[in-house]
Amino acid sequence: ASHATTAAERARLAEIEAADIPYWYPTTPFGDDREMWRGGHRDHGITRVCDFWTKRNLRALAKLWRDLANAFDGRKAASARFSLTSVQLRVSKLSRLRPSGSGDPLTGTLYIGSLSREENVLELWQRRVIAAFRALDMIRPHAKSGAKVSVVTGPAQRLPLPDDAVDYVFTDPPFGANIFYADCSLLWEAWLGYYTDERYEAVWNKHKKPSEGGKTLDDYERLMTDAFREMHRVLKPGRWASVVFHNSDDRVWQAIQRGAVAAGFEVVNALQLDKVQLTFKGVKGDKGEEDVTNKDVILNLQKPLGRPINGFRLAPDAEAVVAEAILAHLGGGPPADERGLQALQGLAIRALLNQGYQVEVSWRSVSDTLRDLGCKQVDGRWYLPGDDVAGATFEIRDEASAIGWLRQVIEQQGPQRLGTLIPRFQEASAGVVIRKELRELLGENFVLDEPTNTWRLPTPQERERLNDAKALGQRREIRRWLAGKAGRHYDDVELAELALAAFGFGLHEAVLAIAPLVRAEALPDSTRNELDQVQVIARMKLEASREAGAVQLPML
């Protein structure tokens, strides 16, 4: 239940704010020398760790911290204080006030929202202690049977273990510049008085300069290589290590690959780990709106039994490997959550790794490959050019339902002119944000019947033709050729075939760029005549499009 604050409550709050806290609490500085410091911290008046809590929650934490130490001796006191660290984030200003009422802190950040939700320190801690006791009850039977668990802290580059002693390693190391764990841990480390040794933290600083203690990509690779060497040292021969990793930057991937091989590991395969629960950043990355990842890759490494290590080699054509993997994946009709850019980038990385190639693929290069193949993006998901992407509902709420609405209109009322559809579509989609214009939605999903200038549904044969592997490969080669990235030399007959294929795709600018380079005398008469005809038609279509102010679209 909630109510407006009373005069007595406001007076009590003012009294707490004015009073000094008679218990110890951490005053560790937190300023712009920290990688995760942002202007929002300055705006909230945060210059020390203690500023992450309201005055009354800081007082409650400080009192509990003192009382727990006084109530117990030695290890019990340390355990009791440890239980209190489990609530410190939840009772800080990092907890957000949201319409639903809940608002846990954003993981992997020190983000403070515009509105904070203040939790009761004592109530939340009591719930956590009860959960801890339940966990202990589950562990005790195993302890009595002789099972032992050791928890140690220290740098991964200096493991306190003998050689050839470990059966299996599972690790989730820092992903380059994604998260800075020393900063994230600062809020409870300041209470414990034990801080991460940042000299050994394997990160790539983007804001902190090397002169200020920041690390470069080379530093990151060196620290990761040292950690891999320690993993290799402590593993028994022939045993395995699994490394959960992902990054949108191929340079970071190459650093990881080099580090693993330099340490003596063989990278046997790469699998996908889907964390299922998306963070706020993960949702944006999944839709291709930000350069972040959520579907991680598991690298399975083996410590060989005396055989030579096979290092990574450069792929003759990394883009071709990626394109083949994407076509096979999308052609299998995957669910929506396997069509996002993150999932497809992870797929591309695994395809290269599993063939023993160096990772030469980034978030942006995967997007380029998808566009080169003529794939279409609908609501942040990627589809083959001929795929039917109509939404299940015809009330326009997003791109998929907009396509469904158009399909319904054309199915029920027959082929439609653009001028007829525009006012009806504007009315049906009023108040809905759709990134693509009506003309683009039509061009990607329907067929323009030129004699009548109306849009109709594609036939099953047209869809099948558009998704044909050879056609998709030709589309990719056309775009790569225009971008100056052709992987080989084309003779006159092959160039003519590309120009004719471009005409079939409706890529009229590509026709006029490629066809003039073909030597007419090298072609059969029938091919030469066809090439002359398509150039004339392509020129006319481009001129007509420019006069109408239309955007050229690849047609089905």
User: Would you say residue 513 has pLDDT above 60?
Assistant: yes
**pLDDT digits 0-9 by tens, 171-201:** 988 887 778 888 889 999 999 998 988 889 9
Give per-residue pLDDT as tens, 390-415: 655 568 888 888 888 998 889 888 99
Residue type, 514: I
Lowest mean pLDDT among 24-33, 220-229, 389-398, 428-437: 389-398
Instruction: Kindly state the helix (H) or strand (E) to which residue 522 belongs, with its residue range.
Output: none
Per-residue pLDDT averaged across 383-387, rounded? 88
CB 298 within 8 A of CB 242: yes
Specify whether the CB–CB gap between 268 and 301 falls below 8 A. Answer: yes
Q: What is the pLDDT of residue 547?
A: 62
State which H helix or E strand residue 171 sits in.
Answer: strand 166-171
Single-letter code of the amino acid located at 139: I
pLDDT for residue 231: 95
For the full predicted model, state whether its pTM sits above 0.85: no
Q: What percent of the chain has pLDDT over 70?
A: 91
Cα separation, 383 vs 373, in Å, equals: 10
SS3 68: helix
Closest by CA to 235, choosing from 258, 267, 265, is 265
Q: How many CB atoms lie within 10 A of CB 133?
A: 10
Burial of 542 (0-12, 13-18, 19+ CB in 10 A): middle
Q: What is the pLDDT of residue 47?
A: 93
CA angle centred on 472, ends 470 and 476, rounded to 5°:
115
Task: Decide the pairing of beta strands 166-171 and 235-245.
Answer: parallel
DSSP string over 458-503 = PPHHHHHHHT-HHHHHHHHHHHHHHTT--SS---HHHHHHHHHHHH
Amino acid at position 344, single letter:
L
Residue 233: what pLDDT? 95
pLDDT of residue 287 exceeding 80: no
230-239, 318-327, 356-365: segment of lowest average pLDDT: 356-365
The confidence band for 478, taking pLDDT boundaries of 50, 70 and 90, is confident
Would you say 405 and 428 are in contact if contact means Cβ atoms under 8 Å apart?
A: yes
Stretch (H or E) spanning 269: strand 266-274
For residues 169 and 235, the answer to whether their CB atoms sit within 8 Å is yes
Per-residue pLDDT band for 291 (boundaries 50, 70, 90) equals: very low
Q: How far apart are CA 269 and CA 356, in angstroms?
A: 9
Q: What is the pLDDT of residue 27?
A: 95
Helix (H, G, I), strand (E, B) or coil at 206: coil
Q: Is the pLDDT of residue 556 over 70?
A: no
Average pLDDT over residues 1-23: 89
Residues 291 and 284: their CA atoms lie apart, in Å, by 8
Q: Which residues pair with 270 in a beta bridge?
A: 299
Unique residue bearing structure tokens 């102010």:
549
- φ/ψ of residue 492, rounded to 5: -65, -40
Asked if residue 446 lies in contact with residue 404, where contact means CB atoms within 8 angstroms, the answer is no
Residue 295 pairs in a beta bridge with 274
Mean pLDDT of the chain: 84
Give the burial string for 337-346 (b: 16+ CB within 10 Å, else e).
Answer: ebbbbbbbbb
- Rounded Cα gap, residues 53 and 29, in angstroms: 14
CB 93 within 8 A of CB 52: yes
- Residue at token pair 């036939």: 459
Which amino acid is it at 311?
Answer: G
What value, to the nearest 5°, has the Cα angle with vertex 158 and ends 153 and 160?
Answer: 65
Residue 99 confidence class, pLDDT cut points 50, 70, 90: low
Q: How many CB atoms lie within 10 A of CB 459?
A: 11
Closest CA to 303 of 350, 353, 234: 234
Task: Find tokens 């679209």 and name the residue.
Answer: 553
pLDDT at position 321 over 80: yes
Q: How big is the chain, counted in residues?
A: 556
81-85, 134-138, 398-402: the lowest-pLDDT one: 134-138
Q: For residue range 346-378, list pLDDT tens digits in order.
A: 899 889 888 888 888 887 889 888 988 888 888
- 8-state DSSP, 211: G
Using CA atoms, how far residue 289 sits from 284, 293, 348, 369, in Å, is 5, 11, 19, 17
Res 294: pLDDT? 59
The crossing angle, in degrees rounded to 10, of helices 341-354 and 318-331 is 120
Work out whether the CA dihedral 225, 227, 233, 239 comes out positive or negative: negative
Query: Tell me, what's the pLDDT at 136?
Result: 73
With a cut of 90, say whether residue 553 has pLDDT above it: no
**All residues at 6 or more sequence positions from 343 whose CB lies less than 8 Å from its CB, including other chains:** 272, 286, 295, 337
For residue 275, the model assigns a pLDDT of: 62
The identity of residue 387, as a single letter, is D
pLDDT of 485 strictly over 80: no
Residue 549 has pLDDT above 70, yes or no: no
Distance CA 108, CA 402 (A): 36
